[in-house]
Amino acid sequence: MRKSAKNLALFALVIVLFSFPIIFMKDAPFEGADGMAEEAITEINEDYEPWFSSFFEPQSGEIETLIFSLQAAIGAGAIGYFFGFMKGKRSYKNQIENK
């Protein structure tokens, strides 16, 4: 299988995996893990009080989403830069060795 065909198949698999819950689970609540963990803890121990609270609470859900997206973009950029740098370093090393 050619590399481009393999990449296309992997991309199609990712699209299917992401779209499956949206199509077949339309009314399912997509909650975050923090809320689900809090519910589970209060079911186990009703007297539980959190020992830590956030020092910054965004004013709205949109701002919270923006901050989370920004954090994800910075992380993805750092990881992408690292892998690109390492690939370029390896490519340069191979180029020097072949001369």
The average confidence (pLDDT) of the chain is 88
Residue 98, pLDDT above cutoff 90: no
- Fill in the amino acid letter for 41: I
- Determine contact, residues 48/41, Cβ cutoff 8 Å: yes
What is the rounded distance in angstroms from the CA atom of residue 4 to the CA atom of residue 49? 53
- Determine contact, residues 28/21, Cβ cutoff 8 Å: yes
**Average of per-residue pLDDT across 59-85:** 94
**Average of per-residue pLDDT across 28-51:** 82
Q: Which two tokens stand for residue 12?
A: 């199609």
